Chain A
Amino acid sequence: MYLPFIHILAVSFSGKAAASANLVKLWPIDFTLDAYVTTIANGNFLRSIWVTLQRTVIGTVFGMLVVVFAAYPLSKETSSFKRRNMYIWYFVFTMLFSGGLVPYYILLRNLDMLNTLWVLILPGAVSVWNMILLLNFFRGIPKEMEEASLIDGAGHIRTLIRVYLPISTPALATLSLFTLVGHWNSWFDGLLFMTNHENYPLATYLQTVIVQQDFSKVSVRPEDLENISQRTVKAAQIFIGMAPILLLYPFLQRFFVKGIVLGAVKE
């Protein structure tokens, strides 16, 4: 099952000649780090990593804030917060029906958001799915805790921060991780909304160079072109794109998997 990864890894560490002659199987031939050196020396690649880091950090923090603050009121009983059901349907409807790609694109173009960092953060910030998972989790918290806090004179915001959040850390960690991985992997918004290739996030850059094999959009100097289209360099770029997930995954596995179980916990 993992053979494809091992093969790509072997290619990325192999000499150019052996790789382009398709001699490499599962072990590097003429071991070299050249492909990684070329990749890291590439300004486009580094710039795209910087864009990805920004969107991932800002996007995750912002997205989680929005979702946490929305999930709390929605976790209330209808008896104490009448408008709850109306709001829930307002959000859930967007999961059932959408305006589709073209109106969405035209809207963002008209809002003048193309080529800004915000276009990678704001439109996807409200994850209704995460909101539902979190509100189900909040509902599992004993009501007495909330009542005690409110009777003590704390407002809703303080109750959320002092009472709800501390006992929800496992759920929050899981949802943050999902949001983070989502941002790291997200490539389509970059392709759609960044008309200037310098604003491409890493995943979009990789999509253009590795999958579309279109080098016209990433302005390379002619002398670099040969390097970038090298099979070994492509393999190295794929591997660098996977590296954070491969490295984090074994340690955070329990959080990764909890996400889906989280949704199953309800009365």
Chain B
Amino acid sequence: MTDHDVPSTSRDAVDPEPWKRNAAAGLAFLRRRLTGDYQVDDFGYDEDFTRHVLMPPLRLLYDKWFRIETIGMENVPAGGALLVANHSGTVAVDAVMTAMAVADHHPDRRALRMLGADLVFDTPVLGPLARKAGNTLACNPDAERLLSSGELVAVFPEGFKGVGKPFSQRYKLQRFGRGGFVSAAVRTGVPIIPVSIVGAEEIYPMLANIKPLARALGLPYFPVTPTFPLLGPLGAIPLPSKWYIEFGEPIPTDGFAEGAAEDPMVVFDLTDHVRETIQQTLYRLLTLRGHPFLG
């Protein structure tokens, strides 16, 4: 992956006015978009767009709003790996921030290819954006294709059960699906990296869930937070909690016998192991953080 945001030091030396270069780069970007002169991969990942349009505002949120600190980035390899993370926060901001962490703070500034719910890809505007950012539907064929081509894939096995859980249940991991992600990792022989995210639970504390409204709108839940729907659009502003994202030690999956990916015992054991690791790390990070907002 190339990188266009961080200018090389040699160019800094000869260029006394960085804004000029930024403006020129912006114009060049605009020209590329207007003439269609860019590349997307088979999944629709548009690196040019992601790095230049999506990431800059998210970077502000990451650095200034949530003051995110990462731990254990050295555990994220240069090749294929499956990141498995806890999921929380009513809106899946945690997923986006994890992608930012890897894109900005991994030595190779890697793209994180996340697996999302079909609801995401069903939604106009959001669905195409999610694809442009490199994400795809959570299904084994896509996961295995990405993993075997050496990509970094992230999955949030709690799904809506995790993001949509009430505030009182914060940092209590929900059920980890059926372990489809473990089969994908075992089949492709890539390590699983448990990722523990602390801080996302407090951004939109979900006090209640208006189920009839959720059903009417076809949503998995309709949240009531201290600011939403009370303050209307202002309720969309997340609370500025302090975040930690820890990338745990890789769990190897290449030592298994043939057919282990279909063996429910192997899959359940690995799933439990990953889940337990994340749960323990969450408790440890919570103590480390102290106050949710002052951190």
Decide whether A and B assemble into one complex.
Answer: no
Question: A residues touching B (Cβ–Cβ < 8 Å)?
Answer: none
